[in-house]
Structure 1
C-alpha cells in the first residue's frame, strides 16, 4: 500500500505541519500550542480541576501537571488548593493569563482561518465529523 493512501500517515503529516505552523505563530508570545490549549480552557472566574483540564485537552494528568507548573512560573495560571479536597487544586487564569488569552484569541483565530482557507464551511464541518469518527475508533486503544 502506498504511504499517501494511509489515513494515519496523512493525519500525522498534517498534524506535524499544523503544529509547526501554530508553534511559529505563538513563539513570540512564549506559548506553545499545548499551553494555548490550557489557556483557552481556563478562565479567571471559574475553577477548573487538573482532572477536568486533562480531559478537556486530552492529555494525561502527569503531563498536565508539568504544563501547569510551567504556566504558573510564567504567572499565567494560578493554582489554589481545593477547600474540600486538600489533594486537589483549582486552576484559574491570572490577570496576566486573561490578558494573554484576550490577545492571542484573534491571532489563533486568524491562524485557524488561514489553515482552513481552502475548505468550505460544509467541508470543515465534515472534516471535524470524520476526524471525530477516527478518534472514536482509537480513543480507548
Structure 2
C-alpha cells in the first residue's frame, strides 16, 4: 500500500503534536495550568513588561485567546496587567514573584521530561529535525492560496 505524502507526513506531524500536547497537559495538571497558559507564562517571563499585542504575536495566540489566558493567569496571581498610560486601550504584562516561582519550577520539571522524550536521538538528528520542521512551517506560512 502506497501512502500519500499527506498521510506519511501531515498525519505523522499532527499525531505527534497531539501526543506532545497530551503529554504536556498531563504533566502540567499538577501545577494547575494548561500548555497554553504555560506558553504565555514563559513568554512573559522572557519579556517582562511586554505589550499585550506583542505578547500575542510571540506566543502565537490570537488576541481574544490571549486575553482569556491572561485573565486566568492574573486570577492565579502569576501575571499582572498595567494600563499603558500613552494608549489606554493597551496593556503591559508583567510576571509576578509567584509567576516566576511557577515558571522556574515547571521549567526544571519539563526540561527533565523532555530529556526523556528525546532520549536516543542524537544532537545531529535533532538539528536536522529542527531545520526540517522550520522549513515545513515556513512553507505553510508562505502559502498564499489560503
Give the alignment's TM-score, normalised by structure 1: 0.91
Q: Match for 1:98 among 93, 97, 100?
A: 100
**Alpha-carbon deviation of 1:45?**
7.9
1:51 aligns with 2:53: yes
Q: What are the Cα deviations for residues 90-140 of structure 1, in whole angstroms up to 9, with x where unaligned?
A: 001111101101111111111221211121111111111111111111125
- Quote the RMSD (CA, aligned, Å): 1.8
Q: Which of 126, 131, 137 is the equivalent residue of 1:129?
A: 131
The farther-off stretch of 60-69 and 1-10 is 1-10
TM-score (norm 2): 0.88
Q: Supply the distance in 2 between the matched residues of 1:139 and 1:89 (Cα, whole angstroms).
A: 28
Q: Specify the alignment match of 1:25 in structure 2.
A: 27
* Count of residues in correspondence between the two structures: 141
Instruction: Give how far 1:43 is off.
Output: 2.6
Using the alignment, how far apart are the partners of 1:78 and 1:18 within structure 2?
29
**Counterpart residue number, 1:15:** 17
Q: Secondary structure at the match of 2:88?
A: coil
Moved over 3 A (4+): none
| Structure 1 position 39, deviation (Å) | 1.1
